[in-house]
Every structure is written in structure tokens, then in C-alpha cells.
């Protein structure tokens, strides 16, 4: 009998969806302040989600091949404090400090192929037909299994009152008013054919290509893949109360008027 296949368990290669927490600064106080601000509005947004700590951006800073250093033990505690679950470290080979920390009993070193967070490979390193996705070779008990079929769109044909929340695994289509205090959340795109006065959060599991479409934008909060904007930052007159589409470009929310005629 094969050692990899028994009546009791199996060992097989595979991939698990996870988020990359891309570290851009070694200033833990600044990270703590920004994480607190980010999660104040939606404390349950990433609660229980697994993340890989990606320190490759620190190597781009001045100061040698290893770049800046950050206390990974403190960073792990910080992420745990906002109810994220760190499962590993993503580092460049030159970042020996991170690899040594992992080898001494911290989180494992993981390999990731993604669309952001690392320098682009050279021509010699590039491999054709490689999907841009995070590859994690570890068993993560809390992580949901990736969907094998496209999720159907969820349609809500009634107004949503304050305190109501709707979650969709695929796209979400809302035909009624999203009132102040209501929340619509989707792993895919969000379409709202009525005023949006509450919160709309699209691409919640890191879908950078997700978009929000709305016929009347008056929101408390809009977010795509964790990048968000609140009413503390007033919207320009050309999009406020207007039909718009919202998407991500270089980690920045872009809001553009929709021409419906």
C-alpha cells in the first residue's frame, strides 16, 4: 500500500486561497495605528481569515540586499490582535533574517506567486502560462476550500434597512435602497440599482478585479479587497449622488461616473 494513501488519511499537493499581508514599513507603531483605523469601521471584515506575512517589499528599500527588518514576532501578535491568523512568511532569498526566524520555530517560509507584493521576475526567471495566484503548500484547517464552479449571482429585490447585512459568495445584485447602517458584502462584484447610503464591500477575499456599480452613490463606506473609503473623505461633486463604477488601480480606489444614456 502506498505511504501517501491509506484508509485513514491522504497526503496530496494542492493550493489554498489565502490573503497576503504585504508589509511596506518596519514601523510597528504606524502599522498598529493603520490596522486599528482600517478595522474600526468593519471589525468582523477579516476576522478568522488566514494571512501570509509578505516582507518582500522591505527589500526594495535602501540599506543592502536584505532591506529593512521588522520584528516578525511582534507583527504576528499584531495581526492576531485584529483576529487574523498568520500561517507563514513570504520572503526573498536575500532576506535571511526572516528565513532564520522561521527556521527557529516561527511561521514556515512559503512560496507565493502573485500580482503584487514582489519585484517582477527577470526574463530568465519568468515561466509561461503561470497563473498569478498565491500558492500555499500547507494544510490550513480554518481556510475554506476553493470553489470549483462559478458562484451564481445573489439578487436582493427589496430595500435593506439599517442593521441588515447581506453576504454573497459570488456577485451581488441589489434592486432596492441600501439604507444608512445597512451593509452589502460580496466576494465578487456588487451592482446596486438604487441609492447606496450604507456600506458596500466587494472582493472581500482579496479579489483585486472586483468592482462596485451604483446608480446613486451616497455611501458610509465603500471597499474593494480591503482598500476602503469612508465619508470622512468627502466624495467629489461629479460622483456624489451620481451613477458610478468603482475599481482598484495600484491599491487606490478609482471612482468614475457611469454614462447610462
Please give the average pLDDT of every successive group of 10 residues along the chain, which has 261 residues. Answer: 62 68 87 76 63 84 65 88 85 87 83 50 32 28 45 90 89 95 93 95 90 95 90 88 94 88 68
Mark whether 98 and 42 lie in a shared domain.
Answer: yes
Mark whether 96 and 171 lie in a shared domain.
Answer: no
Residue 260: the pLDDT is 72
Residue 149 lies in a domain: no
Residue 58: the pLDDT is 85
C-alpha cell at 227: 482598500
Mark whether 61 and 175 lie in a shared domain.
Answer: no
Residue 146 lies in a domain: no
Mark whether 94 and 16 lie in a shared domain.
Answer: yes
Mark whether 216 and 245 lie in a shared domain.
Answer: yes
Mark whether 7 and 100 lie in a shared domain.
Answer: yes
Which domain CATH number covers 86? 3.30.70.260
Mark whether 203 and 75 lie in a shared domain.
Answer: no
Mark whether 97 and 176 lie in a shared domain.
Answer: no
Which is it for the CA torsion 115, 121, 126, 127, positive or negative?
negative
Mark whether 104 and 167 lie in a shared domain.
Answer: no
**Domain span at 136:** 1-141
Residue 75 lies in a domain: yes
Which domain CATH number covers 182? 2.160.20.70
C-alpha cell at 216: 446613486
Mark whether 137 and 201 lie in a shared domain.
Answer: no
> Can you give the pTM of this predicted structure?
0.49
Please report where in the chains the cell 498569478 appears, as a residue.
Answer: 132
DSSP letter for each residue of the chain: --TTB-SS-B--------EEEE---S-HHHHHHHHHHHHHS-TTSSTT-EEEEE-GGGGGSSSSTT-----HHHHHHHHHHTT-EEEEEE--TT-HHHHHHHHTTSSPB---B-SSSSPPP-TTT--TT---B----S--TTSPPPPSSPPPPEEE-S-B-TT-EEEESS-EEE-S-B-TT-EEEESS-EEEEEEE-SEEEE-TTT-TT--EEEEEE--SEEEETTEEEETTSPPPTTTTTS-EEEEEETTEEEEEE----
Residue 147 lies in a domain: no
Residue 9 lies in a domain: yes
Our count of domains for the chain comes to: 2
Amino acid at each position: 500500500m502506498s505511504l501517501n494513501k491509506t484508509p485513514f488519511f491522504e497526503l496530496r499537493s494542492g493550493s489554498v486561497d489565502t490573503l497576503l499581508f504585504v508589509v511596506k514599513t518596519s514601523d510597528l507603531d504606524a502599522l498598529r495605528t493603520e490596522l486599528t483605523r482600517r478595522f474600526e469601521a468593519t471589525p468582523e471584515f477579516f476576522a478568522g481569515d488566514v494571512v501570509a506575512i509578505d516582507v518582500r517589499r522591505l527589500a526594495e528599500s535602501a540599506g543592502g540586499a536584505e532591506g529593512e527588518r521588522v520584528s516578525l514576532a511582534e507583527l504576528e501578535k499584531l495581526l492576531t490582535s485584529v483576529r487574523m491568523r498568520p500561517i507563514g512568511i513570504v520572503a526573498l532569498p536575500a532576506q535571511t533574517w526572516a528565513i532564520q526566524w522561521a527556521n527557529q520555530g516561527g511561521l514556515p517560509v512559503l512560496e507565493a506567486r502573485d500580482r503584487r507584493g514582489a519585484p517582477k521576475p527577470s526574463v530568465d526567471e519568468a515561466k509561461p502560462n503561470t497563473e498569478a495566484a498565491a500558492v500555499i503548500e500547507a494544510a490550513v484547517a480554518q481556510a475554506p476550500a476553493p470553489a470549483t464552479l462559478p458562484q451564481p449571482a445573489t439578487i436582493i429585490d427589496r430595500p435593506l434597512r439599517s442593521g441588515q447585512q447581506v453576504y454573497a459568495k459570488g456577485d451581488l445584485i441589489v434592486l432596492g435602497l441600501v439604507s444608512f447602517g445597512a451593509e452589502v458584502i460580496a466576494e465578487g462584484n456588487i451592482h446596486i440599482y438604487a441609492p447606496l447610503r450604507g456600506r458596500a464591500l466587494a472582493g472581500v477575499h482579496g479579489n483585486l478585479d472586483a468592482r462596485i456599480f451604483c446608480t446613486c452613490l451616497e455611501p458610509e463606506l465603500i471597499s474593494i479587497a480591503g482598500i476602503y473609503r469612508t465619508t470622512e473623505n468627502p466624495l467629489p461633486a461629479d460622483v456624489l449622488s451620481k451613477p458610478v463604477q468603482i475599481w482598484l488601480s495600484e491599491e487606490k480606489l478609482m471612482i468614475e461616473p457611469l454614462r447610462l444614456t
